[in-house]
Amino acid sequence: ETGVTQTPRHLVMGMTNKKSLKCEQHLGHNAMYWYKQSAKKPLELMFVYNFKEQTENNSVPSRFSPECPNSSHLFLHLHTLQPEDSALYLCASSQGSQPQHFGDGTRLSIL
Amino acid sequence: SQQGEEDPQALSIQEGENATMNCSYKTSINNLQWYRQNSGRGLVHLILIRSNEREKHSGRLRVTLDTSKKSSSLLITASRAADTASYFCATGPTTSGTYKYIFGTGTRLKVLA
């Protein structure tokens, strides 16, 4: 139990579907992150939120839309995804510059 | 440019042996961290070494940092089958004050019983 919970754990969707990934942290951290992990590639930082404000958008396509309603919850809304978007999506949180705590990820498959 | 490139990409050893993984990076850092990822799980933080430190220990883990060579190594002593996982180094946050951590592709370690 890392204190960061991601749902769902697995998601299969078609390219025209709309779905959302959810992340919740119970650690009282101020920063939350979305990462994409593909096989044989470095972990790719997608978005960073600090106290609900987005501080980093790493040139992510607009078909990925993050939402951070409060410091404990982070969403990633998905729309019109491509097959190359199939990957493990990891959420993490941290208190300031302290090490990050990761959830177990959502395994996303695009048909 | 990519930070945190781990070497080797894969490593297979016998239980009880030591495992050494290396990480190279390209720009100035405040600290360097090592994480472990078991199959199908998220990353777990192992150890953090600050830029003004040269060596750090935590249980069976020993991390070194050479800022002149922009490299770090992770040594796992007396390895166990449970150490089988992927290991990543991460640099950050950057001196700009953002929370932008940069990870490498990782080293896949397999410890044979």
Smallest CA–CA distance, residue A17 to chain B, in Å, is 25
Which distant-in-sequence residues (6+ apart) come within 8 Å of B32 by Cβ?
B23, B25, B48, B49, B51, B63, B65, B72, B89, B90, B91
> Residue A106: what pLDDT?
98
Which tokens go with B17?
Answer: 């042996």
Return the residue in A100, A101, A107 with the most chain B beta carbons within 10 A, the one to mutate for interface testing.
A100
Determine whether the interchain pair A99/B33 forms a contact, defined as Cβ–Cβ distance below 8 Å: yes
Q: Do B42 and A92 touch (CB under 8 A)?
A: yes
**pLDDT at position B2 over 60:** no
CA dist B85 and B80 (Å) reads 11
pLDDT in tens, B10-67: 999 999 999 999 999 988 888 999 999 999 899 999 999 999 999 999 999 999 999 9
Q: Give yes or no for residue A98 having a pLDDT over 70.
A: yes
Q: How far apart are CA B26 and CA B23, in angstroms?
A: 10
CA geometry: angle A5, B100, B76, nearest 5 deg: 70
Q: Give the pair of three-digit tokens for residue A54.
A: 């987005």
Contacts of B103 in chain A (CB under 8 A): 35, 42-43
Q: pLDDT per residue over A15-32, tens digit each?
A: 888 999 999 999 999 999
Please give the Cα distance from A100 to A23 (Å, whole number).
Answer: 14
Taking alpha carbons only, the member of A49, A46, A2 closest to residue A25 is A2
Q: What pLDDT score does B26 carry?
A: 87
pLDDT score for A18: 94
Percentage of the residues of chain A whose pLDDT score is greater than 70: 99
Whole-number pLDDT of residue B95: 56
What end-to-end distance do the CA atoms of chain B give, in Å? 38
Residues A56, A45 contacting (CB under 8 angstroms): yes
> pLDDT (tens digit, 9 = 90+) per residue, B81-98?
999 999 999 987 665 556
With cut-offs at 50, 70 and 90, classify the pLDDT of residue B3.
Answer: low
Amino acid B6: pLDDT: 81
Give the tokens for residue B87.
Answer: 């290991």
Residue A63: predicted pLDDT: 95
Which of A29, A43, A51 to mutate to test binding with chain B, by most B CBs within 10 Å of its CB?
A43
